[in-house]
Amino acid sequence: MASSFNFVALQTIWIKECTRFLRIWIQTLVPPAITMTLYFVIFGSIVGERIGEMGGRPYMEFIVPGLIMMSVITNSYSNVASSFFSAKFQRNIEEMLVAPVSTAVIIVGYIGGGLARALIVAVIVTLVSFLFVDNVQIHHGGILVLTVVLTSTLFSLAGLINGIHAKTFDDISIVPTFILTPLTYLGGVFFSISLLPGIWSTVAQANPVLYMVNAFRYGFLGISDVGLGVSLSVIIAFNIVFFAAAYILLQRGVGIRS
């Protein structure tokens, strides 16, 4: 009985989250397509012609996985952060917390919304890339799907944690501006860390986004600056830590009961 009730609750939260971003698709799904098109035009077509190759591949092909992953990170994070904070701001999150629904179900429901949006955006950006890259060959489809799911789950959890701590709408934009943007730009989206001199190559390996981008790039092109096993292990470890953190925060009512 309890399991079926939790399944209905999970399904309800997931449908609510998906309906929310699909209803305003012009604001949630169209901007990533426009932004990534500009990246392809500027960095791929214009700058890429001067660079030539990166990692033994045409520069345009090299940046495709990174740009897709960048859109996945941004959209999964912003979807959950804004949604949870809105629920907090409108005071309807309290109704969910007092209902006989487990904390894990609430978390997974929000993750489902972030994951759905990230997957849709990933497909859109991939289709956009076909307009600029003639020969896109997928090296390992299973690794692609696994990396996208794990990455969007991780940043959905990060968005949830941000939404829990946020006290104003401005707090939602602090993390993307000062943390996510630097991490993604320095995470090997536009370059190979093999180009970095000594110490900076070591510093770059402390960036978790590097492992997500390279795991995804391996699935696309079969090349990576980091071992696939190491990349997946890092992503899974971060998922476990962030899920535990979100669970504890919700259980304690941090940012909600205070």
CB-based contacts of 33: which residues, under 8 Å, 6+ apart?
Answer: 124, 125, 128
Main-chain dihedrals φ then ψ at residue 76, nearest 5 degrees: -65, -40
**55 or 233, which is more confident:** 233
Query: In Å, what is the CA distance from 242 to each residue of 41, 108, 110, 145?
Result: 35, 12, 14, 20
- Residue 200 has a pLDDT of 80
Going by pLDDT thresholds of 50, 70 and 90, the confidence category of residue 146 is very high
Least confident of 69-78, 94-103, 221-230, 247-256: 94-103
- Residue 258 has a pLDDT of 53
Digit-coded pLDDT (tens) for 23-38: 999 999 999 999 988 9
Least confident of 43-57, 68-82, 95-109: 43-57
- Among 167, 144, 153, residue whose Cα is nearest residue 241: 153
Q: What tokens does 149 get?
A: 């799911």
Task: Spell out the domain ranges in the chain.
Answer: 2-252
Main-chain dihedrals φ then ψ at residue 138, nearest 5 degrees: -85, 120
Examine the pLDDT at 234 and tell me if it is beyond 60: yes
